[in-house]
Amino acid sequence: MRGVPQAIRPGRPDRPRPPVPPGPGNSSVLDELSDAVFAQLPRSDQRIKGAQYVRGLIAVEGRKSVRNIASQVGGPELAQSLHHFIASSTWDWQPVSRALQRYADNELRFAAWVVRALPIPRKGRQAIGVWGVAPDVTVPVQWKLLPSREQAAACIVSATLGFDQSTIGPRPVVLDIPGVDLRPVFDRYMRAGAPLLSAVPPISPVTDEGSGRMFPAARLLQLNRMLRRPVEWTDPATGIMHRSLVAGVRVQWAGHSLLLLGLWDGAQPQPVQCWLTNLTATPLGVVLRLAKCTERVQQDLVSSASHVGTLDYEGRSSDGWHRHMTLAAAAHVAQVVAAARARVRPWSQCMASMERMDRSGAKVRNRTAR
């Protein structure tokens, strides 16, 4: 399988691109992003409001309500029109999301994609976030509400398999979505020849290619624990390097030949985590570090959610939720790109690194309306 990211391999991580020289089209990261992302909107007033909403998500401290956003970018009288723009306007969030993915990929050069589940307590549903993984950061580029369990696989495939691969080529997709039948997802990826890695429950039944017998995943790995070898990986929360034992076994699953990977913790006889992947020729250390990207995403989600309003949507409309989440992702990307150019860490210094970010409520430049 092609597409193992160089940034996941140890020793030679890529770096974000150098800062863009100042000029009329590059007065700030936020203006750049607005030009690239909101060009998809057909009307100038929609482009202005999109840029205002993202600017407000960044500038507001505390809860990112429409009222608070309006107070930062134009005054309380703007609240009603911004609410309409999110909750009941007609603009399509999907082209905006695709443009955001292209912009973020061009800036940060993603090595992999991670798809993680996100419960939505207010709506009583589950969502997925598609995150781009770069050497030093992760950012969301798309959010989707999952439909019924029977339709979830199609939603996951449509959210990832169609991504523009022109900048770097195919990159692995890493899944961590409990409770979803992933057999159709693996089937689509295998037919497309695209790299995929997914966490699976230890009790998942798999067929050992060597014996042809079926076992729970953790049990099969336990029987092959003599294959374990030490692998180093870095904890995304602490930055501490760990050395763990891993083993890989070739299995048949959902009609395909895959690699079952297990990770052991201490002296426990069975592995504590299991994954399935079609990266069967890839070194186990590379696969494990790729699998650990989901923990980086979780860490970045926890640290960033309050900064960009990921959990602050107040309405009940699914379309409104998608629009809010798309613009929250845009705010996240803007801050991470600005921090990467300034060589600082988001989120502690991200506000200072936004070039000429006007927190006093300055209007969006007239250039946005073109």
Alpha-carbon radius of gyration of the chain: 22
363 vs 269, residue with greater confidence: 269
Question: How buried is 306 (Cβ within 10 angstroms: 0-12 exposed, 13-18 middle, 19+ buried)?
Answer: middle
278 vs 317, residue with greater confidence: 278
317 vs 9, residue with greater confidence: 317
Rounded CA separation 18/20 (Å) = 6
pLDDT exceeds cutoff 90 at 287: yes
Give the tens place of pLDDT for each residue, 161-201.
Answer: 766 555 445 789 999 998 888 999 999 999 888 999 999 99
Give the tens place of pLDDT for each residue, 142-159.
Answer: 999 887 766 788 888 888
Rounded CA separation 222/270 (Å) = 5
Query: Of 27-41, 204-218, 281-295, 350-364, which range is least confident?
Result: 350-364
Segment 266-285 shows an average pLDDT of 92
What type of residue is 153? A
Q: Which residues of 312-323 are buried (b: 16+ CB within 10 A; e: fewer)?
A: bbbbeeebbbbb
Average pLDDT value over all residues in the chain: 82
Look up tokens 């790299």; give the residue. 195
Query: Of 9-18, 151-160, 249-258, which range is least confident?
Result: 9-18
Q: Where are the domains of the chain?
A: 24-98+316-369, 198-277
pLDDT exceeds cutoff 90 at 277: yes
Segment 51-77 shows an average pLDDT of 89
pLDDT at residue 346, rounded to an integer: 64
Give the tens place of pLDDT for each residue, 343-353.
Answer: 776 654 443 43
